[in-house]
Amino acid sequence: KNEVEQSPQNLTAQEGEFITINCSYSVGISALHWLQQHPGGGIVSLFMLSSGKKKHGRLIATINIQEKHSSLHITASHPRDSAVYICAVRSVNSNTGNQFYFGTGTSLTVIP
């Protein structure tokens, strides 16, 4: 059982297309993170959300707490956006107070 499910697993887009990656989770959370991982590279945090919507440049992240769902949108996609995008949630039910659960990631390829 995966606490965090992402879709699609793989996504290929033409440069300039609008892209949506979805994340659903099954645990109570205090925050949801969107992470970016480039091939052979490390992991970078893009967004941290607990409600509503956030925007950084061409990236937009939304979350619906009632539906336990989040989306990451990329407008005017570019080949440099090619990466794996990972959804992670911070559980409120953890004894640690900081337990994160991760999705398996969405591999995005943007073709020029």
Partner 1 sequence: NAGVTQTPKFQVLKTGQSMTLQCAQDMNHEYMSWYRQDPGMGLRLIHYSVGAGITDQGEVPNGYNVSRSTTEDFPLRLLSAAPSQTSVYFCASSYMGHSYNEQFFGPGTRLTVL
Q: What is the contact surface with partner 1 in residues (CB under 8 A)? A: 2, 4, 30-31, 33, 35, 41-45, 48, 86, 88, 90, 96-105
CB closer to partner 1, 75 vs 109 = 109
Using CA of residue 25, residue 71, residue 48, residue 104, what is the dihedral sign? positive
> Which residues, other chains included, contact 41 with Cβ-Cβ below 8 Å and sequence gap of 6+?
none
State the minimum distance, in angstroms, from the CB of residue 57 to partner 1. Answer: 18
The residue type found at 95 is N
State the minimum distance, in angstroms, from the CB of residue 45 to partner 1. Answer: 5
> Which residues, other chains included, contact 51 with Cβ-Cβ below 8 Å and sequence gap of 6+?
63, 65
CB closer to partner 1, 89 vs 110 = 89
CB closer to partner 1, 77 vs 88 = 88
State the minimum distance, in angstroms, from the CB of residue 82 to partner 1. Answer: 18
